[in-house]
Structure 1
Amino acid sequence: MESSIVQTIQDLTVIMIVASITTLLFYKLKQPIVIGLIVAGIVIGPFTPPFSLIHNIDILNLFAEMGVILLLFIVGMEFPIQKLKEVGRKAIVIASSEAFGTLAIGFIVAQSLGLGFYDSLFVALAISVTSTVIIMRVLGELRMMNDESATLILGTTIIEDILIISLLAIFQSTGASGEFALNEIIISVGITLGFIAGVLLVGSKIIPRIMDIIAQTNQHDVLIVAAVGVAFGFAFISFQLGISVAAGAFFAGVLVAESRSHSVTSVLANPVKDIFAALFFVSVGALMDFSLIPQFIVPALILIGVSIGAKFMTVYLAARLQKLNNLTSTRTALGCSSSGGEIALVVAKGGIDVGAASPIILPMIGTMTIITTFIAPYVIKYGWKFTEKLAKVQDKDREQ
């Protein structure tokens, strides 16, 4: 018992020290910190020669699960119910077209590359994800947040996150049973929709009031404990229903965001989220077996191209069909297609956790996430500049 505690403390020490070094290095290189965390995991992981710096692999899985719950909880807190209503019909149409269109195209391509049914399903779902965090950060740095397309991108990624998390819950429940029969799909969809409806209709009348009552004590430690308790409570309920813990945590965040004290709660929860989100990305890196690279690098590169192409095409067409101008449609398509995201890793791990997907998809999706995260700033920056020049040329032609 004592030795296992010592090993756990040693493992946590190694994780934090290596993660600190790699993130500092990536910060100095002006690269995304999330990549530094994944690299830290690769360095300490059991698949990296000459030996593993971690003694207990199970602790990595534990950290990863806790990281998923807190990461999705904070994401949910950014999307109160009123904000979800305000994103509008256009964002809903675009997000649905992008998510389902990319999912279908990705699945067909993955199958043609020789991946199994469930591997193809989870890979297709993972490449349908767009990173809200990365895209918004890039647009902020470029001072383009006031552009019409930036608002549309934000609304689209919000709806897309909800769709992807809901689909993950359905795929996990059918994948765990080993069947993909129509009745299984109907039951899974029914349970997932019932859970979401219960959360939004019943939970929205209870949880925000409880959080506000607790906030009146002016005891920040009590408030953060209650908020984290809500996150893990809903994650547990969703798990018991056979739904992804990510979905439970996300909608727990949505409910807390409905409280009057949500801004304080968000500030208090962020340090907790940062720690466990960091542990999640480190754990994902450590669990990636990069010795499998020769097996998946070509399919991964093909799927990156498919992801970018499918997202761009579906978003652009959906925007144009709603009578948005060419500039806004193109910029929205560029923003939504430029980057995968952290939820893609959640999807990949979710498929493996229930035994539906094979371990090879985690390093595959991890590699794709790293590549798209690197290229996203350049795609948006130069893509938007090109569209701006093109628009000016077209305006001159019209004047003449």
Structure 2
Amino acid sequence: MTEAAAVIQDFAIIMVIASVMALVFYKIKQPMVIGYIVAGMLIGPYTPPFSLVTQLEVVNLLAEIGIVLLLFVVGLEYPIAKLRSVGKKALVIATTEAFGTLALGYVVGQAMGLAFFDSLFLALSISVTSTVIVMRVLEELGMIRDKASVLLLGVAVIEDIIIVSLLAVFQSVAVSGDLAIQDIAISIGLVLAFIGGALFIGSKTVPKFVDLIGRTNHHDLVIVAVLGVAFGLSFIANQIGVSVAAGAFFAGVLVAESKSHAVARVLSMPLRDMFAALFFVSIGALMDISMLPMFIVPALILIATSFAAKFGTVYFSAKLMGVGKRTSAKAGFALSASGGELALVTAKGGADVGATSAFILPMVGAMTIITTFLSPYVIKMGWKFAKRIKAEAGEEEPSVAAPAKEENKEGSPDTPHKP
């Protein structure tokens, strides 16, 4: 069999098994991302009796494209105006949560005897909260219009930027192999310079370019143009030692500034879904399930660490910023509930530069499966617990769950709630 035929065969196997597993998990009302990871585990080289895919390096290459498209579409949700509007409270809470969880996660990793970069990338992975998962759960539970949800969105926006930026710094430091203060400072400076340059220069050019293409009313030209921006900025980021994920994210932020951003998002979604599926399948394929007994206990310890650190930092920092007890508790439970897809991106980022041990990626994969499964239950129970807390002045919120059910009584349960 030629190499081209082998790649086509692998692609066919991946898509068929991934679609079957995604359907199974959809039917049992679990996130399809778990189905993709399980599909990867089934076809990967570590699952007996043999591997169903022969060209893992090609799968990994396609997964890298998936990272670019995944982060690009995430960035499309955050135009610069939204970043400016999230407010001081969200900035303080997000910074406290990200760095507080990172610090505690690193300490716990070191206490478990992990190597320096293993502890560092693991700590970064458990610092992530999935904006997509949290907001979808809140929407399904009829809580999206809750006062706490507005705060959650602002915190999640800033946290995504912090995590992507820290990933770029950690990869840069890991590649240089030197932990001298001046080298760390140079890495941080490169990331900040890239972000500043992208936002300053890019905001004056990219939106105009996308709008110029958009005025042709040719969707094929629009998708080619926005993908050119996404991969172009990712390439520039990679060339100066910054993560491609960071380049893709800020490419999305810049395209979101254009008048054609809605069209760009709609056109990008199918490509993102396909390549993101390949990314999650590749994560599953790299998970050696024979190592499960070795890392399941540390994974559970780190999940508990993540939950405690996130809830504690969010609740107390929110209280310090003048947020009421009830809203602070709701935000704490929601933000502590999920790791999500960005956790896998950060873990793979460490593996890509050869900084982490072989068991780190499957450990984070296992943690992602567990936390993604638990998220709806943690948020729902957390909201109920928060309601028992005596509300402070100006914190009483109208119940939104009951009206939401009435609105959807005759329609689909997934029908969006209208304001």
TM-score, structure 2 normalization:
0.92
2:157 matches 1:142 = no
8 A contact 1:38–1:285 mirrored in 2? yes
Q: Give the distance between the partners of 2:133 and 2:304, measured in 1 at CA.
A: 19
Q: Greater helix share, 1 or 2?
A: 1
* TM-superposition CA deviations, 1:29-72 (whole Å, max 9, x none): 00111100111111111111110000111012101100000000
Corresponding residue for residue 330 of structure 1: 329
Between stretches 164-173 and 291-300, larger displacement belongs to: 291-300
Q: Do the aligned partners of 1:231 and 1:249 also contact (CA within 8 Å) in 2?
A: yes
Contact 2:134 2:334 in 1 (8 A): yes
SS in 1 for 2:48: coil
1:143-222 alignment, distance < 5 Å:
143-222=142-221
Distance 1:142 1:368 in 2: 24
How far did residue 287 of structure 1 move? 1.1
How far 1:386 sits from its partner (Å)? 2.0
**Residue 261 of structure 2 corresponds to residue 268 of structure 1:** no
Counterpart in the other structure of 2:399: none
**2:101 paired with 1:102:** yes
In the other structure, the counterpart of 1:84 is 83
Which residue matches 2:314?
A: 315
Aligned to 1:224: 223
* C-alpha distance in structure 2 between counterparts of 1:119 and 1:243, whole Å: 19
1:16 aligned partner: 15
1: CA distance, partners of 2:246 / 2:226 = 16
Instruction: Indicate the residue corresponding to 1:243 in structure 2.
Output: 242
For residues 359 and 62 of structure 2, the distance between their equivalents in structure 1, rounded to whole angstroms, comes to 20
1:103-161 CA-partner distances (Å, limit 9, x unpaired) = 00000000000110000000000000000000000000011111111111111011000
The code of the aligned residue for 2:162 comes to L
Whether the 8 Å CA contact 1:68–1:277 is kept in 2: the answer is yes
The aligned counterpart of 1:234 is 233
State the number of aligned residues: 393
In structure 2, what is the Cα distance between the partners aligned to 1:64 and 1:349? 10
2:130 is matched with which residue? 131
Q: How does 1:34-49 map to 2 (within 5 A)?
A: 34-49=33-48
In 2, the alpha carbon distance for the partners of 1:344 and 1:290 equals 19
State the alpha-carbon separation in 2 of the partners of residues 174 and 208 from structure 1: 32
Distance 2:156 2:240 in 1: 26
| Contact 1:92 1:156 (8 Å CA) reproduced | yes
Structure 1 unmatched runs, 5+: 395-400
Aligned to 2:120: 121
C-alpha displacement of 1:292 = 1.3
By how many angstroms is 1:214 displaced? 0.4
Please say if residues 106 and 306 of structure 1, whose CA atoms lie closer than 8 Å, have aligned partners that are also in contact.
yes
Q: Distance in 2 between matches of 1:314 and 1:387?
A: 17
Are 2:92 and 2:317, in contact at CA under 8 Å, matched by a contact in 1? yes
1:357 Cα shift? 1.0
How far apart, CA to CA, are the structure 1 residues paired with 2:177 and 2:294? 25
Q: Is 1:369 matched with 2:371?
A: no
Structure 2 contact 68–245 (Cα < 8 Å) conserved: yes
SS of match in other structure, 1:114 = coil
Which residue of structure 2 aligns with residue 360 of structure 1?
359
Structure 2 CA distance for aligned equivalents of residues 227 and 288 of structure 1? 33
Matched residue, 1:398? none
Asked if 2 retains the 8 angstrom alpha-carbon contact of 1:178 and 1:356, the reply is no
How far apart are 1:178 and its partner, in Å? 1.4
How many angstroms does 1:229 deviate by? Answer: 1.1
In 2, Cα distance between equivalents of 1:351 and 1:258: 31
- Structure 2 portions without partners, runs of 5+: 394-419
